[in-house]
Structure 1
Amino acid sequence: MSRVLLIEDHDRLAGLVCKGLAAAGIAVDVAGRIDTAWAAIQQMPYQGLILDRGLPDGDGLILLQKMRHAGLGVPCLVLTARDALHDRVAGLEAGADDYLPKPFAMDEMVARVRALLRRPVALHALDPSHDDLTLRSETGVLCSGEESVTLAPAELHIMQLLLHKHDEVVRRGALEAAAWGLSEAVTPNALDVALHRLRRKLLAIGSRQRIVNVRGLGYALREGDATE
């Protein structure tokens, strides 16, 4: 399942967009400001962005330019009421991949987001891999050699983040956000249950990789004994 970040400060519109994308099988996180969106982008391997221009702390193109200067190639659809030619040109020159003026038809917005998600992403691979593991994000299948196992949606998003940051320790809160979104209420042991299931699935497919708890810091993928 793909996850996108919607940067929109209008609550009603954000709710409608989330509903439309969820019906299409696309998970959505919402940020209402540039600063919170930038923090989320640094934390999560999003497959796409939907960006409003008129945000409380500035023009959304500021965020887009910052991302592109940092080498983040995540596809971006700009949604805005500014539909003059020079506004569209400014958005594309800032690094937008597509531009949809408000008001818009929900079916068209969903179709455009789907088209974005079919594009290759320079930094955040849709099918991340590390060592003997490859994750097929579209189908939720985790592979090691000839063996494979299907992951539940929360497990899929956790593994996407662990594989993307395979050389780093990922904090517990980041894994919870990956699995259930930035605004979803999570029970205290939900992550522990998901990690337990993922560990069992790694053993089942004979992977060398293990999800280890780095005490006081978070979790990371580390090589272990495939027979343990």
Structure 2
Amino acid sequence: MSQTTPPALPNRIALVEDHARLASLVERGLGAAGIAVDTFATLESAWHGLTRHGYALAVIDRGLPDGDGLELVRRMRAVGNRIPCLMLTARDALHDRVEGLDAGADDYLPKPFAIEELGARVRALMRRPAALRDPQLVHHRLQVLAESSCMQCGDEQVSLAPAELQIIILLVRAAGQVVRRGALERAAWGVGEAVTPNALDVALHRLRRKLTAIDAGLSVVNMRNLGFALRPTDAAA
């Protein structure tokens, strides 16, 4: 039985971890590197999230309240979901690592671990599938530096808030094509956070000002009843 995998949310990953403090540390650590995180505390909540929303990667703990995280990997692979999976576990025996890789996991990180190493492994896995991640975030003269949470044009550079970063990444990847409002909201705030009706409009307004500040020659254009697109300012006028 196969299932269509939802389009990946760029630079947003799913973390399946029931330990609240560890989940918070991972969210902050990866967030500092420009990677947004949606956290799920159980296998079932993660299954629903992963089948309804696309992610660039899943980081999955093995010891969860409702079972072994490997069962989630097996379940996803059984329906054709090939999202890269990195397993977190206190089990460091060779046979445990082999079992995880045989179940369809792509990498295995034993606890305790350094957030810096987790970040490096996450970035490596996110670079691996070309269909999910481009090597450069460039559109016309604009370059987005996700790990530095900023964008630049020539010698000019401006920092980005977390939501702004996820929005501009999705718009740059679309390369001028229209992106629907819902997709931008999910990229910016994930699937679990309540978003006020005008939150996206406020973020887009700030992005437009920052694009102008660095003389990018681009603006975020509202395509009425369709969504938004990153277009050259002469075409946007």
TM-score in terms of structure 1 length:
0.73
Residue 22 of structure 1 corresponds to 27
1:121 to 2:134 alignment:
no
Deviations 1:84-103 (A, max 9, x none): 755533532565332246xx
CA separation of 1:100 and 1:151: change in aligned 2, threshold 3 A:
closer
Residue 182 of structure 2 corresponds to 173
Structure 1 range deviating more: 189-198 or 213-222 = 213-222
- The secondary structure found in structure 2 opposite 1:170 is coil
Separation in 1 of the partners of 2:104 and 2:173?
23
How many residue pairs end up in the alignment? 209
Amino acid at match of 1:177: R
Separation in 2 of the partners of 1:25 and 1:52?
16
1:40 to 2:40 alignment:
no
Deviations 1:68-94 (A, max 9, x none): 4xxx6x5x3123688775553353256
Give yes or no for contact 1:209–1:222 (8 Å, CA) kept in 2: yes
C-alpha root-mean-square deviation of aligned residues, in Å? Answer: 3.2
CA separation of 1:130 and 1:64: change in aligned 2, threshold 3 A:
farther
1:211 Cα shift? 0.9
1:227 Cα shift? 10
Residue 220 of structure 1 corresponds to 229
Give the one of 192, 210, 213 matched to 1:183: 192
Deviations 1:8-55 (A, max 9, x none): 5xxx43x344212134253421352335314322xx5x4x42035658
Residue 195 of structure 1 corresponds to 204
1:63 Cα shift? 2.6
TM-score in terms of structure 2 length:
0.71
Give yes or no for contact 1:162–1:170 (8 Å, CA) kept in 2: yes
Give yes or no for contact 2:30–2:119 (8 Å, CA) kept in 1: no
- The secondary structure found in structure 2 opposite 1:138 is helix
1:189 Cα shift? 1.2
- Runs of 5+ consecutive residues of structure 2 not aligned to the other structure: 1-10
Give yes or no for contact 1:126–1:137 (8 Å, CA) kept in 2: no
CA separation of 1:169 and 1:179: change in aligned 2, threshold 3 A:
same
CA separation of 1:35 and 1:187: change in aligned 2, threshold 3 A:
closer
1:151 Cα shift? 1.5
- The secondary structure found in structure 1 opposite 2:183 is helix
Separation in 2 of the partners of 1:163 and 1:59?
32
Give the one of 43, 65, 72 matched to 1:59: 72
CA separation of 1:55 and 1:194: change in aligned 2, threshold 3 A:
farther
Residue 157 of structure 1 corresponds to 166
CA separation of 1:21 and 1:50: change in aligned 2, threshold 3 A:
same
Give yes or no for contact 2:221–2:236 (8 Å, CA) kept in 1: no
Give aligned-pair identity as a percent.
Answer: 45
The runs of at least 4 aligned residues of structure 1 exceeding 4 Å deviation read 52-56, 80-87
Separation in 2 of the partners of 1:64 and 1:144?
41
Deviations 1:163-195 (A, max 9, x none): 122253222122122222221121221111110
1:110 Cα shift? 3.1
Separation in 2 of the partners of 1:158 and 1:171?
11
1:67 Cα shift? 4.5
Separation in 1 of the partners of 2:91 and 2:75?
15
